[in-house]
């Protein structure tokens, strides 16, 4: 069953005056590390939930810290869940003694997607902050994109303009940034993780591959949404359609003659460099081969000279003997 609202005696988490809704959510590295640590220490087959702490300034919400909260839910029924709000209040009361600027700004979940019970859990955090946000952190190792997604709740409005008393989640732009002190810590952390044996070219190629995989995943998600809208499985959202139209309008027209000519010229220039590099490599290899043969001939002439000793001839023959001759002699 769902947990009740906090008691009135919890003065440490009393609601404050409602600030303006956050237009951007910035997640700091310490939050990501805390969430991953919370997930790894618990059962990795279940999601974990915790509280986000931070401060809001001019529409920007900085999530600077977090702490875990005991949470359980029924795998068969998402409507049955328990969140220990007493533990939440005690932890928040103690955290205020360390950093009074950090307030409760929302909660996090390891998702990786929204669930039916999330809107009910979200309602609980209205007792601690007027505008809570939900940040879903994708802790899967194969994820190459930004591992966070931010959501805020708003009243759902029908197409005919009538107001429906039901809240739904909407996306909020989010990013991952760090203060100067946090950047220094992250650099020290990555210094030992970085593999110095991997070349810079390999790193750049792997980054390009990961970017293309992320683009492919986004395109597949758009295609899946459009198919569901066409089939009638999902209602048409004019805001999403507007964003898609803006993205398509930014795509270049590949049928323009100037664009095709410029693309071909750029491709030919790049291939010319590759072709010249191959020619130069082949010429250098042939030059080394000719020099090697000339050196061997000079050595043979020196050995065939009357003044050459038998020891020098034996040493030179031993150096020119193939490596597999020993195996052949053993086989005989």
Q: What is the pLDDT of residues 16-26, one digit of tens each?
A: 333 446 788 99
Whether residue 284 has pLDDT greater than 70: yes
The candidate with the shortest Cα–Cα distance to 169, out of 212, 222, 107, is 107
Residue 167 pairs with which residues in a beta bridge? 155
pLDDT bin (cut points 50, 70, 90) of residue 196 is low
pLDDT of residue 203: 77
**Alpha-carbon radius of gyration of the chain:** 33
Q: Write down the domain spans for the chain.
A: 11-194, 196-251, 260-321
In angstroms, the CA 228 to CA 77 distance is: 26
In angstroms, the CA 158 to CA 196 distance is: 56
CATH number 3.30.365.10 given to 11-194: no
Q: What percent of the chain has pLDDT over 90?
A: 30
Three-class secondary structure of residue 298 per DSSP: helix
Please report which residue ranges of 305-332 form alpha helices under DSSP H: 310-320, 325-331
Three-class secondary structure of residue 30 per DSSP: helix
pLDDT of residue 20: 45
Three-class secondary structure of residue 92 per DSSP: helix
Q: How many C-beta atoms surround the C-beta of residue 310 within 10 A?
A: 7
Contact 143, 36 (CB under 8 A): no
The candidate with the shortest Cα–Cα distance to 83, out of 73, 74, 93, 92, is 73
In angstroms, the CA 139 to CA 142 distance is: 9
pLDDT bin (cut points 50, 70, 90) of residue 261 is confident
Which pTM value belongs to this model? 0.56
In angstroms, the CA 96 to CA 98 distance is: 5
Whether residue 167 has pLDDT greater than 90: no
Three-class secondary structure of residue 49 per DSSP: strand
Q: How many C-beta atoms surround the C-beta of residue 3 within 10 A?
A: 16
């Amino acid at each position: 069953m769902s947990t009740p609202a906090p008691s009135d005696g919890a003065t440490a988490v009393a609601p404050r005056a409602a600030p303006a809704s956050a237009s951007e959510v910035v997640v700091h590295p310490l939050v990501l590390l805390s969430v991953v640590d919370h997930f790894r220490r618990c059962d990795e087959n279940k999601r974990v939930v915790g509280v986000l702490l931070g401060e809001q300034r001019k529409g920007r919400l900085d999530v600077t810290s977090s702490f875990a909260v005991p949470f359980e839910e029924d795998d068969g029924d998402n409507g049955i869940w328990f969140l220990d709000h007493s533990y939440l209040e005690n932890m928040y009361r103690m955290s205020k003694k360390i950093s009074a600027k950090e307030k409760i700004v929302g909660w996090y979940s390891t998702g990786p997607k929204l669930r039916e019970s999330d809107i009910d859990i979200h309602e609980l955090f209205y007792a601690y902050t007027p505008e809570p946000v939900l940040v879903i952190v994708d802790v899967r190792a194969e994820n190459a994109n930004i591992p966070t997604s931010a959501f805020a709740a708003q009243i759902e409005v029908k197409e005919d303009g009538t107001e429906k008393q039901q809240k739904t989640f909407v996306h909020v732009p989010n990013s991952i940034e760090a203060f100067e002190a946090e950047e220094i810590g992250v650099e020290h952390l990555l210094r030992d993780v970085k593999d110095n044996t991997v070349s810079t070219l390999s790193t750049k190629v792997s980054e390009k591959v990961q970017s293309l995989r992320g683009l492919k995943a986004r395109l597949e998600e758009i295609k899946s949404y459009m198919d569901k809208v066409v089939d009638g499985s999902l209602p048409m959202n004019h805001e999403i359609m507007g964003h898609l139209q803006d993205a398509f309008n930014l795509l270049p027209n590949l049928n323009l003659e100037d664009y095709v000519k410029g693309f071909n010229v750029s491709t030919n220039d790049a291939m010319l460099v590759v072709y010249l590099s191959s020619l130069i490599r082949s010429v250098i290899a042939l030059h080394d081969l000719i020099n090697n043969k000339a050196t061997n001939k000079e050595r043979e002439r020196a050995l065939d000279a009357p003044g050459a000793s038998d020891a020098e001839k034996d040493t030179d023959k031993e150096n020119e003997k193939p490596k597999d001759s020993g195996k052949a002699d053993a086989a005989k």
